[in-house]
Amino acid sequence: MKVVINDLIVNYDLVGKGRVILLLHGWGDRASGLNIIKEQLVKRYQVLAVDLPGFGESDSPNTDWGLLDYSVCVSNLVKKLKLEIYAIVGHSNGGAIAIKIISNKLLFPQKLILLASAGIRNQYKGRNRIIRIVAKTGKFSSYMLPSLIRKKIRAIFYKKIGSDLLVAEHLQGTFKKIITEDILVEASKIKIPTILIYGKNDQATPVTYGQMLSSKIKNSKLIVLDDSSHFVYLDQPDKVKQLIEDFLL
């Protein structure tokens, strides 16, 4: 289904009956990327899954967006659909958006589930500075090379420094803006029950992120799963689904 929010066409899926669970996907993903969670939750709840602007079938923003822009857009969608959110499940960047939504009182869920949440930036200022510098100067330094080779070189470099800049090239300005935003202060404003689920082998959002966020969110519990990476809910689907179900009861 599609609706116009903030002058953008936003694609979403609303299925099931009962209290409403909002699913927010990570950077470079789309609503369907969380289907494994949605299919479990829909047995007991109504589930709203959103293609965040710039991903899936939703329009891309006309300007460079930050976390607050995404948060306001999601909040406006929920209000337009006249829904009351019981809980938010956010993966990676979706988790950072969820924290922003709640801390800014845009929505008032009763529970929060963070899956490998991103949003810790101040610990990695050096790496983020490198990403921004390369994004600005990379084209100049390799302008004499053929286009295909330039793209390959940039992709290899960004992968080595752990950047998702090229995951959504049409949103490079938005990505560079988001990686400057640290949400630890916002996390300290969250008072609702929260669980944080991280993969022990996650290189994109390491367990230290979860530890830092959990230390700021008073009513929270950090769970670290072995043999799991950034997509912890795909690596340990049964375990994650059970943890979510038990927490929501």
> pLDDT tens for residues 11-58?
999 999 999 999 999 999 999 999 999 999 999 999 999 999 999 999
In this prediction, residues 65-87 reach a mean pLDDT of 98
Confidence at residue 169, expressed as pLDDT on a 0 to 100 scale: 77
170 band by pLDDT with thresholds 50, 70 and 90: confident
Confidence at residue 75, expressed as pLDDT on a 0 to 100 scale: 98
Domain 2-121+182-248 in CATH 3.40.50.1820: yes
Sheet of 111-115: strand order equals: 2-5, 8-16, 46-50, 20-24, 85-91, 111-115, 194-199, 220-225
What the block records as the tokens of 231 is 């997509």
Domain residues of the chain, as ranges? Answer: 2-121+182-248, 124-175
Burial of 127 (0-12, 13-18, 19+ CB in 10 A): middle
> pLDDT tens for residues 189-232?
999 999 999 999 999 999 999 999 999 999 999 999 999 999 99
